[in-house]
Chain A
Amino acid sequence: MSHLHLVDGVIAPIWWILGYIIALGILGFAVMRVKTTQMHKKVPFVGVVSALMLITMSIPLGFLPFHLNLTVLVGILAGPWLGFIAVFIVNVILAFIGHGGITVVGINTLIIGLELIVGYLLYKTLSTRIKQVTAVAAAVVIALLISTTFMFGVVIATDTGIEHALPHSCNHDHDDGYEQTGQKEQLDDWEQHLEEVHFLAFTGWSAVFIILLLGIALEAFVTALIIKFFMKVRPDMINSVNISSRQ
């Protein structure tokens, strides 16, 4: 849901290098954490989780201008560290086929990895207090809000233009400046971009807000339904995976 659709050559090298350094640092830490337990057993599992993420991303959602990620679900089932490794793998494979630039793999991994870790921690905390289905829905909503905010933060911090963070099928016809002459001008540009976003009968901020809200609601709804399905069919899966990921 919060996948950053930046392409190569639009982010200054300092930012994507920094993104790579931080993402690879966390990846190294994740591998070290997993190594302390039974690493070999988990390698096919990480492969499966990554493949599942790639496949859910390719499921069409009709008129809705985004795709499912199921990042929080992956975090719940695989745990934060295995999940982070899976997120990195997914981003590398997507970059090979032109779905996002190879230089922004680090930044993308950080954004989706944050969503996964926050979702996992929230679910872990909430599931002991409220029903599991409600807990997962709440975890998805909060994790997506946090990762989307982070994504917008990255876009603003790197001066790349807020339209990259907008959902896929937004209308992007606009005319803005080449030279970034000041903060006010940038904000004016963004206002213009936002004014030109259309979704159903909505435009501007309201369209962005509706698209984001729909995306978050759909992801939370589907994730909650899947957890409900697991509880009916294979309740051991959630419990056993959660226990192993907490070890």
Chain B
Amino acid sequence: MDIAYIDQLANNGDGCLHKASVISKVLMTISIIAAVVVSTRIYQLLSVFIMLIILTRINQLPLRKILHFMLYPAFFSMVFALMYFRYSFEAGVVIILKAVVAAKGMLLLITTTPYPQIFGMLNRFLPSMVTDAMLFTYRIFFILLEKIRKSLIMIRLRGGFRPSNIIFNVKNLAAVIGIIFINAFDMSDRMYHIYALRGYSGNMMSNFKWYHFKRNDYMPIAVAIIIIAMVVIF
């Protein structure tokens, strides 16, 4: 998974979408998902897809890498699309495009918006416990990812990996996961105490400013309107 890379793109990017507020980008994403659900024609979905590719280029995001991320939904949609190809070529292509366009929309949101900002917005709709836990997940994920990477390297260096012995490897993998679980649980205790000392009382994102409208919000809102218009009118 490339959560770390996506996070780096979202935090270090300097495109106009990076500067836009979360609410306008979420509205744009909702319009993309709505277009995916409603569209039944290739040209509708293709137009949305081309628009998203242009947006990716405008925002200086690595197009090749993002297209690589989209291979996953494309592969799984192809599985479904193949079922439709016998009767209609268009139906099969529509299924693939639906998956790819929706994934592209989500990726455009997540590569231009840091996770905490999205969680801040979700805080308006979900219980604060859930969104706070999302934020903790985000913070802890990178620490644990590094720990597991180092542990797996250590296991290889110390002869704990034998390509021909699966049982031996699985036993060692289980021990690594066990250690990571123990470390992580201890970490959650420490984190709670640190946050309690800082005055954490159950809502980390109550003052999060996710709704402020900026000049850069015109672009995502315009894109949202164009997408909806294209799907509804044409």
Chain A residues proximal to chain B, CB less than 8 Å: 5-10, 13, 27-28, 31, 34-35, 39-48, 50-52, 54-59, 62, 70, 73, 77, 85-86, 88-90, 92-93, 95-99, 101-103, 160-161, 163-164, 172-179, 189, 193, 218, 221-222, 225-226, 229-230, 233-234, 237, 241
Contact = CB atoms under 8 A, between A and B. Distances in A.
Interface of B: 1-3, 6, 33, 36-37, 69-70, 72-73, 76-80, 82-88, 91-92, 95, 98-99, 102-103, 106-107, 109-110, 115, 118, 122, 126-127, 129-130, 132-141, 144-145, 148, 166, 170-171, 173-175, 177-178, 180-182, 184-185, 187-189, 191-192, 195-196, 200-202
Contacts of B202: 39-40, 43
9 contacts: A46-B129, A54-B1, A70-B177, A77-B185, A93-B137, A102-B102, A161-B80, A226-B177, A229-B175
Given A7-B76, A43-B133, A222-B170, A52 B180 contact: yes
Contacts of A218: 170
Given A161-B80, A234-B182, A27 B37 contact: no
B56 to A, nearest CB: 14
A59 B82 contact: no
A7 B99 contact: yes
B188 A45 contact: yes
Question: Chain A interface mostly helix, strand, loop or mixed?
Answer: helix
A34 B182 CA distance: 22
Given A55-B144, A101-B99, A101-B102, A92 B76 contact: no
B95 A9 contact: yes
